[in-house]
């Protein structure tokens, strides 16, 4: 079965078809769709299917795709895999756990192969309880603005990678790699055409995700959140990324039990690549659901595409992001520059590579299977 689609519409249709089949089998299942409904985003929806446990359930497993638009293609494939090959054939799975699948949180980004929304917002920098978020200062980013967000038509030039590498290495030597990464990745609220822009106001997704989560998490003790991503890490490998800080060590303890054979990065601070972001979905849901007395156990599943763990490769992928963002806002000097930039961007977040896609499905199957076992144990 090929779960990997090439357009937003076919990807959505495949998800809706899987959902329809599940509803046939499980009449208590609930499906719903939320229109984003604003300029440039007509006909775009966040879709969901909720499967309530047949017995009393302590856990709600929530699987989200496409917080970063283009990454939804792989996320959707994994959701279809879980729905068709786990939940549809085996009703025991929903005996003691409820499941919620949220498809394409940023459908604009998926449709147009961007990470961000139509307002250039990285959704994972746009979630918070209070709109004070938008007053967040990131002075270190401002200092790097020219390097990160050059303006004017983009024209591909020979040796530009090397020049970019040297320029950034000078900054890294000055600031240190940790400060450099933190400045870029934390998120910023002032440069509307810049990368990692968190917005000037909440995107519609903030309210939609809040409503969805509160509505379905209610009555459960724990929300086990799997947020599907691509682009960071060793190619073909799954990296589990936790929160940068857990308000309560028991949460991390519970997460480790759910993923006994996997390393949970970010929380394991010695893994090195640790940084803090503002406006993150995890922190928002964590705080929001605590108000509802639900413990959130959030993990991002990141499927690596580019081996961008080491400095050299991570700068190369940063450069691809910068070019795509510049081309989007200021245009390209010629067709070749556009073609190569969009192609590199697409390969970074949605590799057109059978082997990679197989690895993603295989690994997802294995880890999900293990997670289901651990949940079953915890429910006994």
Output the smallest distance, CB 110 to Zn ion, in A: 12
Residues in CB range of 183: below 8 A, 6 or more apart: 138, 140, 141, 143, 144, 175
Which residue, 29 or 265, has its beta carbon nearer to Zn ion?
Answer: 265
Contact 275, 244 (CB under 8 A): yes
- Three-state SS for 44-79 is CEEEEEEECCCCCCCEEEEEEECCCHHHHHHHHHHH
Which residue, 229 or 357, has its beta carbon nearer to Zn ion?
Answer: 229
Which residue, 45 or 196, has its beta carbon nearer to Zn ion?
Answer: 196
Which residue, 57 or 318, has its beta carbon nearer to Zn ion?
Answer: 318
Phi-psi region of 196 (alpha: psi -120 to 50; beta: other; left: phi over 0): left
Which residue, 229 or 326, has its beta carbon nearer to Zn ion?
Answer: 229
Output the smallest distance, CB 47 to Zn ion, in A: 19
Which residue, 229 or 239, has its beta carbon nearer to Zn ion?
Answer: 229
Residue 303 phi/psi, 5-degree rounding, is -100, 115
The pattern of x and - marking residues 62 through 91 that bind Zn ion according to CB under 5 A reads ------x--x--------------------
Rg (CA), the chain: 20
Say how far apart CA 270 and CA 265 lie, in whole Å. 9
Report the candidate in 12, 32, 99, 112 with the shortest Cα–Cα distance to residue 68.
Answer: 112
Residue with tokens 């980004």: 109
Output the smallest distance, CB 77 to Zn ion, in A: 15
Q: Which stretch binds Zn ion (CB under 5 A): 224-232, 257-265, 277-285, 368-376?
A: 224-232
Say how far apart CA 364 and CA 369 lie, in whole Å. 8
Strand order in the sheet with 97-103: 30-35, 45-51, 97-103, 59-65, 222-230, 295-303, 238-241, 264-265
Output the smallest distance, CB 169 to Zn ion, in A: 25
Phi-psi region of 6 (alpha: psi -120 to 50; beta: other; left: phi over 0): alpha
For residue 222, state whether it binds Zn ion (rule: CB under 5 A): no
Output the smallest distance, CB 278 to Zn ion, in A: 16
Which residue, 181 or 229, has its beta carbon nearer to Zn ion?
Answer: 229
Output the smallest distance, CB 125 to Zn ion, in A: 11
Output the smallest distance, CB 53 to Zn ion, in A: 29
The pattern of x and - marking residues 329 through 368 that bind Zn ion according to CB under 5 A reads ----------------------------------------
For residue 229, state whether it binds Zn ion (rule: CB under 5 A): yes
Say how far apart CA 341 and CA 127 lie, in whole Å. 29
Say how far apart CA 273 and CA 71 lie, in whole Å. 21
Which residue, 12 or 229, has its beta carbon nearer to Zn ion?
Answer: 229
Residue 255 phi/psi, 5-degree rounding, is -65, -45
Q: Which stretch binds Zn ion (CB under 5 A): 134-142, 172-180, 225-233, 285-293?
A: 225-233
Output the smallest distance, CB 300 to Zn ion, in A: 7
For residue 326, state whether it binds Zn ion (rule: CB under 5 A): no
The pattern of x and - marking residues 289 through 318 that bind Zn ion according to CB under 5 A reads ------------------------------
Output the smallest distance, CB 80 to Zn ion, in A: 19
Say how far apart CA 281 and CA 211 lie, in whole Å. 13
Q: Which stretch binds Zn ion (CB under 5 A): 47-55, 133-141, 222-230, 284-292?
A: 222-230
Output the smallest distance, CB 297 to Zn ion, in A: 19
Q: Which stretch binds Zn ion (CB under 5 A): 125-133, 221-229, 259-267, 271-279?
A: 221-229
> Under rule CB under 5 A, how many of the chain's residues touch Zn ion?
3
First to last CA, the chain: 34
Give, as ranges, the residues between 248 and 277 that touch Zn ion (CB under 5 A).
Answer: none
Residue 176 phi/psi, 5-degree rounding, is 90, 145
Binding site for Zn ion (CB under 5 A): 68, 71, 229
């Amino acid at each position: 079965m090929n779960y990997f689609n090439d357009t937003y519409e076919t990807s959505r249709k495949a998800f809706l078809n899987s959902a329809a089949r599940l509803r046939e089998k499980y009449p208590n299942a609930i499906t719903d769709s939320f229109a984003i409904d604003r300029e440039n985003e007509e006909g775009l929806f966040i879709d969901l299917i909720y499967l309530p446990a047949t017995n009393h359930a302590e856990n709600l497993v929530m699987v989200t795709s496409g917080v970063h638009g283009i990454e939804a293609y792989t996320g959707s494939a994994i959701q279809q895999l879980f729905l068709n090959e786990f939940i549809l054939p085996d009703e025991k799975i929903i005996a003691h756990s409820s499941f919620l699948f949220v498809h394409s949180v940023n459908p604009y980004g998926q449709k147009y192969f961007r990470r961000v929304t139509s307002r250039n917002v990285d959704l994972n920098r746009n979630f918070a309880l209070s709109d004070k978020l938008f007053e967040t200062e990131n002075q270190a980013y401002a200092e790097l603005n020219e390097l990160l967000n050059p303006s004017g038509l983009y024209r591909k030039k020979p040796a530009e990678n090397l020049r970019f590498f040297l320029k950034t290495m000078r900054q890294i030597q000055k600031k240190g790699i940790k400060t450099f990464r933190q400045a870029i990745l934390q998120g910023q609220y002032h440069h509307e055409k810049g990368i990692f822009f968190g917005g000037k106001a909440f995107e519609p997704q903030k309210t939609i995700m809040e409503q969805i989560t509160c509505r379905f998490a209610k009555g459960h003790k724990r929300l086990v959140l799997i947020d599907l991503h691509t682009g960071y890490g060793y190619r073909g490998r799954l990296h589990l990324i936790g929160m940068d800080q857990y308000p309560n060590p028991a949460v991390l303890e519970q997460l480790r039990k759910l993923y006994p054979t996997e390393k949970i990065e970010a929380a394991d601070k010695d893994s090195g690549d640790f940084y803090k972001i503002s406006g993150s979905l995890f922190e928002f849901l964590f705080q929001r659901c605590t108000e509802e007395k639900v413990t959130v156990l959030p993990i991002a599943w990141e499927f690596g595409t580019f081996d961008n763990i080491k400095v050299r490769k991570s700068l190369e992928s940063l450069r691809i992001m910068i070019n795509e963002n510049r081309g989007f806002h200021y245009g390209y000097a010629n067709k070749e520059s556009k073609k190569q930039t969009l192609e590199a961007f697409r390969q970074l977040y949605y590799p057109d590579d059978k082997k990679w896609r197989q690895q993603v499905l295989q690994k997802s199957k294995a880890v999900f299977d293990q997670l289901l076992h651990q949940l079953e144990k915890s429910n006994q």
